[in-house]
């Protein structure tokens, strides 16, 4: 409707048409040049050489292999430590059971021979404690110090001190004051 009313013979309309054609031509040329640049991605030079790329790839593969080896070693160490801890827990449970059976007897009654054989066989199966390692802990415990105080004084883990005190061989009528302090 608007186009029908326009007079294409006038100079003003012809000027607008010429401007529009010029803008369209420039847009076409600009788009054509940018399309040529996108079509040839190999025209650009690579930033690093092929030898450098292979070197980086080899280094990455070596790093991956080293990481896998390290992960295997750490896993093996953790498995070994877990097995050792399970063994220590099992031994501690056996000792606790033996001590509980011994504590349930009356103080004046002698222990049955079967219990003494079990204790002797359990001691022969486990590693004998090193007196020099445990003597300091025993001495501080005999002075009435708590396991936490002993651990701080000797710079040793509290759990280790508690385990040594729990596994400490002692006469049937005597108990460790430091251990009783932690259980009450």
Q: Which residues contact 149 (CB under 8 A, 6 or more apart)?
A: 140
pLDDT at residue number 128: 53
Q: Are 166 and 179 in contact (CB under 8 A)?
A: yes
pLDDT tens figures, 94-127: 999 988 887 654 444 444 444 444 444 444 445 5
* Half-sphere exposure in the Cβ direction for 180 (13 Å, CA): 6
> Per residue of the chain (184 residues), what is the pLDDT tens digit?
565 666 667 788 888 889 999 999 999 999 988 877 666 666 666 678 888 999 999 999 999 999 999 999 999 999 999 999 999 999 999 999 988 887 654 444 444 444 444 444 444 445 555 566 788 888 999 999 999 999 999 988 888 888 888 888 766 555 545 445 454 4
CA angle at 120 for the pair 159 and 96, rounded to the nearest 5°: 35
C-beta separation of 160 from 89 below 8 A: no
Provide the terminal-to-terminal Cα distance of the chain, rounded to the nearest Å. 102
DSSP of the chain:
-HHHHS-TTSHHHHHHHHHHHHHHHHHHHHHHHHHHHHH-GGGSPPSS-HHHHHHHHHHHHHHHHHHHHHHHHHHHHHHHHHHHHHHHHHHHHHHHHHHHHHHTS-TTSPPPHHHHHHHHHHHHHSPPPPHHHHHHHHHHHHTT--HHHHHHHHT--HHHHHHHHHT----TT---HHHHHHH-
Spatial contact of 95 and 167, defined as CB atoms under 8 Å apart = yes
pTM over 0.75: no
Q: What is the pLDDT of residue 17?
A: 87
């Amino acid at each position: 409707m608007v186009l029908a009313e326009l007079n294409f013979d006038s100079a003003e309309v012809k000027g607008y048409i010429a401007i529009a054609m010029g803008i369209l031509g420039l847009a076409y040329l600009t788009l054509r040049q940018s399309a040529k640049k996108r079509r040839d991605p190999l025209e650009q030079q690579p930033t690093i050489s092929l030898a450098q790329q292979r070197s980086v790839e080899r280094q990455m593969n070596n790093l991956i292999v080293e990481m896998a080896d390290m992960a295997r070693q750490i896993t093996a160490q953790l498995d070994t430590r877990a097995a050792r801890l399970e063994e220590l827990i099992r031994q501690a449970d056996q000792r606790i059971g033996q001590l509980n059976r011994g504590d349930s007897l009356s103080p004046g009654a002698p222990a049955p021979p079967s219990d003494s054989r079990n204790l002797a066989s359990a001691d022969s199966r486990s590693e004998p404690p090193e007196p020099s390692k445990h003597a300091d802990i025993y001495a501080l415990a005999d002075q009435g110090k708590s396991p936490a105080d002993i651990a701080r004084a000797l710079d040793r883990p509290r759990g280790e001190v508690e385990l040594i005190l729990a596994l400490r061989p002692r006469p049937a009528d005597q108990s460790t004051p430091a251990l009783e302090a932690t259980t009450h």
